[in-house]
Amino acid sequence: MVFDFLEPVSESFIKYKDNLPSQSLGKKVFFHTKEEFPDLDQIALAIICVNEYRGTEAEIEFQGFDNFRKKIYALFPGNWNVSIADLGNIRFGETIEDTYFLIKSVNEDLVRKKIIPIIIGGSHDLTFPLYRAYDNLDQMVNLVTIDSKFDFAKEKGSLEESYLTRIIVEEPNNLFNYSNIGFQTYYNSQEEIDLIEKLYFDAYRLGEVSNKIAIAEPVFRDADLVSIDMNAVQSSYSGRNGVFNPNGFDGKEICTLARYSGISDKVSTFGVFNSWFSEKESVLIAQMIWYFIEGFCFRSKEYPFGTKENYLKYIVLVEEEELVFFKSNKTERWWIEIPFLSNANNKLKRNTLLPCTYDDYLAACEQEIPSRWWKAYRRNLL
């Protein structure tokens, strides 16, 4: 059984948890201990920590998972109706590929059981085995990363700096779309930026998102896998000084993005990487996970549409294109239809709906084709 490779949470943490207030989150979570393993049939969210940093060249001062667990489980839950388990830690593999295999296997098993894995710790290249977990699930994957860099292969780069190339190049190729939230131009070569455009992927600069964070919400609404690199957060908020980041998302913004991830009906895997678990950083990560869970508890179950009766349909003619929009009566969120072309090599098998914003509808009314629709349309033909 793949879960046999999971280590239980530490006994010192269990002693700490036992002394928490009865209303704290720690008293409402099922833990993997030496004595028992949670009944997964009763679980909706599973938290797992990973101590695997061999994919990065950074000097990681790993401080253990107890800091993080103490911070998150001392928090108080909202008005949630969700069952959560902490499955402990993934064992350190003899090689990094061994760890990849364990992460892939655990993630695939949980997703099959309709349990959302929340993976904490390790370097950002662990996104690769999380993506590979979908190989046998018979679906195309939309990957969203919150990262200051595009992790394409570099001449002398680490695994962490090249995992995205593996995702794009290696078979089986299940990737339908990749979206980056918060890239910083000076960390990325022009060739990398041009490649993002050539492949019709979506990328949003840090300033663009910080100026209007709501533009990121539709991106998460269409995501299967969300992966956060803590290097995308300002050091003044993460408390990290070893690798100093003067620019990045602030604490409120990264928590907002985590909540967008949770509230998405489609997200089935969530990961936070490049965390060193210092006292300060553990506080922020704990709050990010709290907001992800909060978002999950408020999912509207609007995707995919079971019926279109509760949606208003808008048709806009832009040049020779007929753009079809849908607006939810329940949440007032917007979608735009990507048409199926019978005479093309479609990745999609039917008309599909792409999350968008009200501003995209207004732009269409002004005869401007929304950028995400155009990229999705072109990507469907590749």
pLDDT tens digit sequence for 190-207: 999 999 999 999 999 999
The length of the chain is 382
In the structure encoding, which two tokens stand for residue 299, read together? Answer: 């999912």
Type of residue numbered 372 = R
Q: For residue 60, what pLDDT is reported? A: 62
Choose between 21 and 319: higher pLDDT. 21
Pairing mode of beta strands 84-90, 6-7: antiparallel
Report d(CA 116, CA 378) in Å as an integer.
Answer: 31
The CA-atom distances, in angstroms, between 299 and each of 215, 221, 358 are 19, 10, 20
Q: Is 336 helix (H, G, I), strand (E, B) or coil?
A: strand
Q: Is the pLDDT of residue 223 over 70?
A: yes
Rounded mean pLDDT, 337-353:
64
Which residue pairs, CB below 8 angstroms and at least 24 apart, start in 194-199? 195/150, 195/152, 196/150, 199/168, 199/379, 199/382
Report d(CA 240, CA 248) in Å as an integer.
Answer: 12
Report d(CA 80, CA 331) in Å as an integer.
Answer: 19
Choose between 118 and 94: higher pLDDT. 118
Report d(CA 380, CA 335) in Å as an integer.
Answer: 17
- Using one digit for the tens of pLDDT, what is the confidence trace for 71-84? 999 999 999 999 99
Q: Is the pLDDT of residue 335 over 60?
A: yes
Rounded mean pLDDT, 213-223:
96
* Closest listed residue to residue 331, CA positions, set 352, 349, 305: 305
Report d(CA 9, CA 236) in Å as an integer.
Answer: 30
Q: Is the pLDDT of residue 368 over 60?
A: yes
Confidence tier at 155 by pLDDT (50, 70, 90):
low
Q: What percent of the chain has pLDDT over 70?
A: 92
In the structure encoding, which two tokens stand for residue 337, read together? Answer: 């239809």
Q: For residue 347, what pLDDT is reported? A: 56
Q: Is the pLDDT of residue 311 over 70?
A: yes
Q: Is the pLDDT of residue 306 over 70?
A: no
